[in-house]
Structure 1
Amino acid sequence: MFTIFNEELAEVARRLRDDHRDFAAGRWDAARLEAHRVTELKSTVDYVRANSPFYGRQLADVRTADITSSTGAAWRAVPFTTKDDLRAAQHDILSRPLSKAWIFYETTGTTGAATPCPRDNVDSLANNTALTVHYDTIFRRYGDDQVIGVSGPTELHAFGDTFGDVCRNLGLAVAKMWPHSPMVGFDRAVAVLRDLGITGLFCTPGMALSLAKRLHAAGLDPRRDLRVRVLMLTGELASPELLANIGELWGARAYNALYASQEASVLGAAGEDGGLYTAPLINHYEVVDPATGEPATGTGDVTLGELVVTSLYQGAKPLVRYRTGDLVRLTRGDAGATLPADRLEVLGRTRDELVIGGRRISGYDLENLLLGHVRGYLDYQVVLDRDESGADRLSLRLEAAADEPPRVDPEIADHCRDVLGVEVSVGHDRFGSITGTGAMVSWKAARVVDNRSGADTDGETAAAASLASART
């Protein structure tokens, strides 16, 4: 509504809406998209160099006239921006003063200095328009009687405002509910789900499992006692097999709805077919070798490596060649997909990779491998040990509902031995709050207990334990 008070922003909003709708309908060809990328890459570099103290120094020697391709040598010579740069620069990274933003957010700061992430109206218009067009493909199939719950991590996070605005764009009623808030709590959140007849829920995978635990503890079954039909999950690792189990627990379709960060905003969003699609009108995507920073080599239509992004809009905090620290598989788009964009599989942070039985595996692939053989669990954790001979051993620990034990495929041991070369067992446990900290810390800190001597450790494991203790 604010745009009716500013004709210039109203025009920006209409242009973004029309461009994203045209792109989703397949009316942008490769040449038009590349021309858009090159134009906006130059605009972003010029804009941040002129307005951001950090980028004024960082990009002083970049000649935008030399940038004629989004993949050429001139672009690849532009310096990277890293998370350490953001922590050190703080407000010097911004391209607009805080007084010109409409809202202030920041990173959680659980494992390092929090960094400021204000957004102005251009930021929100660009990102929320992309989400609106993506999510329209999903919500349109659920009718006109929807009430959507939004359950985010903290008040200083974009979660609630972003999804609230997108749902308003789609004509969907919203109830914001924060189960970790002392004024709400899980019991009240469960009551809201029931009393309002919530039909869809935005939350993390960990929150979906935590709410299912609380419902079962109260003698309720989400499939029987709630109206939730769609779960829009974000903020944590979400493999297809985890999504399938959560969807079964709730009797709903579970989507990996959003890939984003406070720093870089929207990087990917779900379409109706379950794919996690890039948003190429607002971001330029590169995939690089995490060790060298050179372009990653692909196999066929798939490229594996660390994701690097550049903002294709000029708001409060555009980032240039930002190394996300996330390992991804980027798959070239195909004609039969919901949206004509490339697809992402977010495999976890590069430092979340594990070496098991001498083989390196991402958190996403490990989770998908193990959870492909079990269903009906309320939570899970992976425990790694070594036996007396020094061989790795892996245990998948599952939390079960009191009246319905998980279903375990007996072939799990053979399959995992074939893939990982280690022995795998399945057991039962109770996890408390630790497994729900992934969105605040990391997948590995929340989901993996690594008891092997010499195993890598960092401050995130301690931060997860501290956060879980506070929540308990």
Structure 2
Amino acid sequence: MLRENWNDAGPGFHPVSSSDYLPAAQLRDLQLRRLQSMVGRAYAHVPLFRGRMDVRGLTPASIESLADLGRLPFTVKADLRDTYPFGLFASPMSVMLRTFAAAGISRGDIVQNAFGYGLFTGGLGAHYGLEAIGATVVPVSGGNTDRQVMLLRDFKVNAICATPSYFLHLIERAAELGIDLRDLPLRAGVFGAEPWTPAMRQRIEADAGIKAFDIYGLSEIIGPGVAAECSAQDGLHVFEDHFYPEVIDPETGAVLPDGQEGELVLTTLSKRAMPMIRYRTRDITRLVAEPCACGRTLRRMQRVGRRSDDMMIIHGINVFPSQIEAALLAVEGALPHYRIVLRREHGL
């Protein structure tokens, strides 16, 4: 694997990123062929999807162009809960290689992976992607901040993967221990699993002396690896050869043109174990089709700052107010009157 992903092209380009630069016509042809294959597979093997298509009078043969995607039914989170067990998780490894290549990570780098392992998709997804690109992985997982700081220093780590809020906490704890991260070899951070603002990026880059890259993913689609920032840091490139993005009006479901803000909808084009057709992410963003300074032809999505539902993301964990209410009402004598207050302490 290391030999296969050897990079002799020099800085600024990694061979694993070649799909990021496909001509638009070739990319659209690939997307259509993969979409037709995925719809056919889902129709044949997913009763829920087949039933919804039958109600609309559709068959896999109805998909003759990418525009026909808008005729297909949406998938929402409740569908996954209601039809569990829904199949196996599977993701194309190449998108994680391309994610790290876009951040300038390559063979020989030492990367500390502070995403959680276990059932959280971020930790293992990042780990195997880093190994495949030839980097040495420090699999520290989350928590134990003093040890995180020690490993950053002692292992001469070049890059780190973490949630942005935890990395801010790590910066503050390092300062308390008398360590300035700007004095370490650390040069890049790959951050995701929760929303973060441009102001938080500026603080991270200033206080740690690194370049901070945003990544986007969700467990229902793949985990990490749906979209990633490049060196231009001007939106996240959606890996469109594997995930077809749409932006819709969250109220009407109508597809909106590129550049207009709405709810992100994703269709997997290459996942065979768990195909997902028109999954409503509830994340609010817009798609940017203009060329990027890095030369990639993939469309970019704007950083996600809000959602169309009431879900909160706490330290990378999805929390719904309804879950809190259910826990409160499980206590005898409790009333359904409560207030949720979110605040940060020490960066967390």
Could you say what secondary structure the match of 2:66 adopts? coil
Q: Does 1:271 align with 2:226?
A: no
Distance 2:78 2:174 in 1: 41
Distance 1:161 1:172 in 2: 14
Q: What is the aligned partner in structure 2 of residue 201 from structure 1?
A: 160
Q: Does 1:65 align with 2:61?
A: yes
Distance 1:271 1:239 in 2: 17
Distance 1:335 1:154 in 2: 33
Q: What is the aligned partner in structure 2 of residue 242 from structure 1?
A: 200
Of 14, 38, 42, the match for 1:44? 38
Distance 1:458 1:439 in 2: 26
Q: Does 1:308 align with 2:265?
A: yes
Q: CA RMSD in A?
A: 3.2
**Residue identity in the other structure for 2:228:** A
Query: Cα offset for 1:295?
Result: 1.2
Q: What is the aligned partner in structure 1 of residue 95 from structure 2?
A: 130
Which whole-Å deviations, capped at 9, do the CAs of 1:177-217 have from their partners, x for residues lacking one? Answer: 1233xxxx222222222221211100010111111122122
Distance 2:320 2:170 in 1: 19
| Contact preservation (8 Å) 1:237, 1:443 | no
Matches within 5 A, 1:326-341: 326-334=283-291, 336-341=293-298
Q: What is the aligned partner in structure 2 of residue 155 from structure 1?
A: 118
Could you say what secondary structure the match of 1:139 adopts? coil
Q: What is the aligned partner in structure 1 of residue 173 from structure 2?
A: 214
Q: Does 1:255 align with 2:220?
A: no
Matches within 5 A, 1:58-207: 58-60=52-54, 61-72=57-68, 75-91=69-85, 93-94=86-87, 118-120=88-90, 123=91, 126=92, 128-139=93-104, 145-180=108-143, 185-207=144-166
Of 245, 251, 268, the match for 1:291? 251
| Contact preservation (8 Å) 1:212, 1:222 | yes
Query: Cα offset for 1:71?
Result: 1.7
Q: What's the TM-score, normalizing by structure 2?
A: 0.80
Q: What's the TM-score, normalizing by structure 1?
A: 0.60
| Contact preservation (8 Å) 1:78, 1:321 | yes
Which whole-Å deviations, capped at 9, do the CAs of 1:329-353 have from their partners, x for residues lacking one? Answer: 2111316334211111123322369
Distance 2:175 2:16 in 1: 42
Gapped regions of structure 2 (runs ≥ 5): 5-13, 322-335
Q: Does 1:441 align with 2:346?
A: no
Q: Does 1:55 align with 2:55?
A: no
Say if 1:313 and 1:173 are closer, same or farther in 2 by CA, change over 3 A.
same
**Residue identity in the other structure for 1:248:** A
Equivalenced residue count is: 314
Query: Cα offset for 1:149?
Result: 0.3
Gapped regions of structure 1 (runs ≥ 5): 5-17, 95-117, 354-362, 364-435, 445-456
Could you say what secondary structure the match of 2:83 adopts? helix
| Contact preservation (8 Å) 1:271, 1:338 | no
Which whole-Å deviations, capped at 9, do the CAs of 1:113-149 have from their partners, x for residues lacking one? Answer: xxxxx424xx2xx2x2123134324325xx8652100
Distance 1:459 1:155 in 2: 32
Larger Rg: 1
Identity of aligned residues (%): 23
Query: Cα offset for 1:29?
Result: 2.6
Q: Which has the higher helix share?
A: 1
Could you say what secondary structure the match of 1:198 adopts? coil
| Contact preservation (8 Å) 1:246, 1:254 | yes
Distance 2:15 2:146 in 1: 43
**Residue identity in the other structure for 1:152:** F
Distance 1:135 1:251 in 2: 19
Distance 1:84 1:148 in 2: 36
**Residue identity in the other structure for 1:34:** R
Query: Cα offset for 1:19?
Result: 10
With a CA cutoff of 8 Å and minimum separation of 6, indicate the structure with the bigger relative contact order. 2
Distance 2:339 2:300 in 1: 29
Could you say what secondary structure the match of 2:84 adopts? helix
Q: Does 1:228 align with 2:222?
A: no
Distance 1:283 1:131 in 2: 13
